[in-house]
Amino acid sequence: MILDWLSRLNARERLGLTAAALVILGMLVDRLAVQAVVNRSRELSREIARSEAEVAYNLRVLAGKAAVETEYRRLLAAMEAVQSEAEGIDRMKDQIDALAREAGVRLDSWEERRPENRGAYDEHFVVVRQFDSGMDGVLRFLYDVRSAPGLMRVEQIRVGPVRDTDRMRGSLLISKVFRKTETK
């Protein structure tokens, strides 16, 4: 039936029909094959752009690696190593007591708190419930604590004058970081 219909067409009509069939075939190939390749190419281009941005970020991070490692080694060297919590607290109390004596600060009452585990290190705390000193002694003690070896710092301070004197009274919370050592 189709062959009979095609045989009745003149040459000009056959040429038009062939051209129309080729255009339809071209559109079909474009929709099925070419668009799939183009879509995949665009997806790969976006993935490449994301990967390039990630590589650029990683290179910027890597550029700072040496500085971070240097700072890590410096801080690791500044931390004292202890075998136990008691050893850390004893060392810290001895150091605080020595600094207070040098600065002329009298520590009347103090206690230790349980150390907080921070992963690779422990942070130890000592609460000085009451101290007594002149303002110069307090300032010198605070400076000495800050500049003492071993990453010690004053976390909290409450201070007030004693009536009719040039003395100061107050309380402190002091912390110090200790590196954990492997016990064998």
Provide the pLDDT for residue 9. 81
Provide the 3-class DSSP secondary structure of residue 119: coil
Q: Cβ(171)–Cβ(128) under 8 Å?
A: yes
Provide the pLDDT for residue 56. 94
Q: Rounded to whole angstroms, how far apart are CA atoms 79 and 71? A: 12
Q: Is the pLDDT of residue 180 over 80?
A: no
Q: How confident is the model at residue 127 (pLDDT cuts 50, 70, 90)?
A: very high
Domain range summary for the chain, segments of one domain joined by +: 2-62, 81-180
Provide the pLDDT for residue 182. 62
Which CATH superfamily groups domain 81-180? Answer: Ribosomal protein S6/Translation elongation factor EF1B (3.30.70.60)
Q: Which residues contact 112 (CB under 8 A, 6 or more apart)?
A: 89, 92, 93, 124, 125, 126, 127
In what helix (H) or strand (E) does residue 95 lie, and over which residues does it extend?
A: helix 85-103
Q: Determine how β-strand 106-117 pairs with β-strand 80-82.
A: unpaired
Better-predicted residue by pLDDT, 78 or 147: 147
Q: Where is mean pLDDT largest: 49-53, 86-90, 107-111?
A: 49-53
Q: Is the pTM of this model over 0.95?
A: no
